[in-house]
A and B are shown apart, each in its own frame.
Chain A
Amino acid sequence: MQTHTTRRQLLTAIGMMGGTAALYQAMTTMGHAAETQFAGPPNLSGARTGASVLVLGAGLGGMLAAYELSKAGYKVRILEYQNRAGGRNWSLYGGDTYTELGGATQKVGFAPGHYLNPGPWRIPHHHRTLLHYCKSFGVSLEPFIQFNHNAFVHNEHAFGGKPVHFREAAADFEGNVAELLNKAIDQKALDAELTTEDKDKLKEALRGWGMLDADMKYKTNLLSSEHRGYERTPGGGVNGAPIPSEVFKFRDVIDVQVWKNMAFFMNHEMQTTMFQPVGGMGMIGKAFAKQVGGMLTYNAKVTKIMQDKAGVTVSYTDTATGKATEAKADYCVCAIPLGVLNQIENNLSGPKKSAIAAVPYGNQVKIGLQMARRFWETDDYIYGGHSFTSQDIALVSYPNYKLFEDGPGVLLGAFANGAGAFRLAGMTPEQRIEAALAQGAVFHPKTYRKEFQTGASVAWSRVPWTMGCCARWNEETRKQHYQTLVALEDRTVLVGEHASYVGCWMEGALLSSLDAITRLHKRALEA
């Protein structure tokens, strides 16, 4: 019999001998457990004299390719359909105009300094590539308030249809689970799994974590109120003594909305600390554009991509004049979203074309609502974070900037997906605002409509230059198409969040870009 040490067995041994630190170091060396795949900027150099690259699309993926390749010595040109760089990295400010597919046009009326981020809005602390380039390109970041115990959870089918504080629901969920697990231990249901010592330890943990009383019960008392909040909070003087709040019915607490929201915050990608650029997410695209400014051609709609032994020829139309032009280069980095690329004539291979056509995109809808007064702060003590609902809008999210100011604030009044997002997308911009007001009012019934001033919406299925939010891969499509999609084919390589396993994050677009241009540069030097 052959002895074969698996990676797992090896790690187990290291873990037992050297403890956690040694295990972590070993895992990192073996390429696991590290918080990022970013190993620093690629430092490419020594491009052949005169070698040229056409970059298609000025999103973050395309612009990073252009920046690093031009540093390596390539002659780079970027063709961008819009009159703006940044792609999905984008903020809408007062005075901006946005026309969606179908022609509906919105004139954004937000007060100066306020904005809606239609696409990306938050950055995890472990997205090291993005954070690296933000620092290099001078983008100021501030905290994005992701987790707020005091925001609401709402489901039409639980708690009598009334919103409850996340804090209360989560505390009751954990308290009840602790009580039930303790019962299972007492009823000897776990004797096969646990030693007596383990059981004692676990009971102690359940008591402390679940706020159980001396009888191991989760009840309305000052203990549970320490987690879920009080009926009357502790104060000073005569009425200083707190009064406990009443725990919810267990049936409501195990509602899907409660545990989904609890689990949401446990996602590696959603964990605090998170960041946002000062002044709007679009600041990142603007900073990237400054670095590659001279290379950019705006209003250039790519219509055809052909490559042969001699080079790449890209046809494009100037959207302002309608004039058709050709551009030629030795290589092509195509950073156009797949749904659009699928409609562009090209001579890529059959399997590559199938891969491009095979990945559907999400259909998120975001709606920004400017309120005259920051009532969520003054009346509800909510500073940033999200209130979740089972209605189509999915959430209301509170702004992380200009806190405590007297003036207006722009709420994110919807971040819809799936069926709800299709319903909102099919409406006129005015109807979307109306729906967002009607649904969001569940959290702030007295003020929501009264304080509303102006709004804007972006339905990603109707965005003229993506026709969708982000690539939605699944296990099957990954297996069948991913490697084909990312493979460098002759002189052309595809780049973007769709060419990564960090889908729907700016980090994915950047990591895809660095990987693609490193391979492209290698091939160019070997040619």
Chain B
Amino acid sequence: MIKHTAFALLLLTVPVLAQANAGGDTAGSSANTTARPVTGEQVYVQVCQGCHMADAKGGVGAGRIPALAKNSNLEDPSYPVSMIVQGRGAMPPLTDLLNPAQIAAVATYVRTHFGNNYKKPVKEADVKAIMGQ
């Protein structure tokens, strides 16, 4: 029995240590289960638009969300794909939300819409290569 008592007391330390990795203030609800977007346009509307805006013109305040409209940085397809995969600064990596097929679809979509005309489609395999898969 002594062994058990000492063990129980040691358990007291566990929550204190675990708390160091707590995720901050959240709703505490389960992840939502609503259907995932499929086409490039759906991915754009349901993910990218939350930042880059419906017209893809971005916005400027203290920080700046760059326009994807008429953006010559999209010419090299690996650039938008790596942005989506790795993120940078206030652009988060989106791989826990989107799979390679969805990333390919949305990269193709932004490269062919909003005044961009880079016709060559981005393939799922291209995305996987950049993800090191």
- With A338-B89, A342-B88: A420-B32 Cβ-Cβ less than 8 Å: yes
> Quick one: which of A272-322 are within 8 Å of B by CB?
301-302
Tell me which residues across on chain B come within 8 A of A468, comparing CB atoms.
Answer: 90, 92
A388-414: CB near B (< 8 Å → 1, else 0) gives 111110110000000000000000000
Q: Which chain B residue has the least Cβ–Cβ distance from A158?
A: B30
Residues of B within 8 A of A (CB): 1-2, 4-6, 9-10, 12-13, 15-17, 19-34, 36, 45-51, 53-54, 57-65, 87-93, 97
Number of A residues whose C-beta is below 8 Å from B?
Answer: 89
Chain A: which residue is nearest B7 at the CB level? A12
With CB as the reference atom, state the residue of chain A lying closest to B24.
A504
Given A20-B9, A257-B29, 13 other A-B contacts at CB below 8 A? A11-B10, A15-B6, A24-B12, A32-B17, A33-B12, A81-B62, A267-B22, A269-B22, A418-B97, A419-B32, A422-B49, A467-B63, A470-B25
Q: Let me know if A425 and B50 touch, CB within 8 A.
A: yes
User: Which of chain A's residues have a CB closer than 8 A to the CB of B31?
Assistant: 390, 418-419
- Hey, which chain B residues are within 8 Å of A122, CB to CB? 25
Specify which chain A residues have a CB less than 8 angstroms from the CB of B89 in the assembled complex: 338-339, 342-343, 356-357
A156 CB contacts on chain B under 8 angstroms: 33
Please measure, in the bound complex, the distance between the C-alpha atom of A434 and the C-alpha atom of B36, giving whole angstroms.
Answer: 21
The stretch that binds B, out of A106-114, A175-183, A214-222, A457-465, is A457-465
Task: Write out the residue numbers on chain B whose beta carbons fall within 8 Å of the beta carbon of A270.
Answer: 28
5 intermolecular pairs with C-beta atoms under 8 Å apart: A102-B59, A260-B30, A343-B64, A356-B89, A462-B51
Q: Which of B16, B54, B63 contacts A32 (CB 8 A)?
A: B16
- From known contacts A15-B10, A391-B32, A464-B63, infer whether A503 and B50 are also in contact, taking CB-CB under 8 Å: no
Q: Which residue of B lies closest to A424 (CB)?
A: B50
Q: Would A419 and B46 be within 8 Å (CB), given that A27-B13, A101-B65, A464-B61 are in contact?
A: yes
Min Cβ gap B96→A in Å is 8
B22 to chain A: closest residue by CB: A269
Who on chain B is nearest to A419 by CB?
A: B97
Asked whether A416 is an interface residue with its Cβ less than 8 Å from the other chain, the reply is yes
Residue of B nearest to A30 (CB): B13
Task: Give the residues in chain B near A501, CB-CB below 8 Å.
Answer: 20
Q: Please, how many angstroms separate the alpha-carbon atoms of A122 and B87 in the complex?
A: 30
A256 on the interface (CB 8 Å rule)? yes
- Residue in contact with B93 in the complex, picked from A195, A340, A360, CB distance below 8 Å: A360
Which of A23, A256, A363 contacts B50, CB < 8 Å? A363
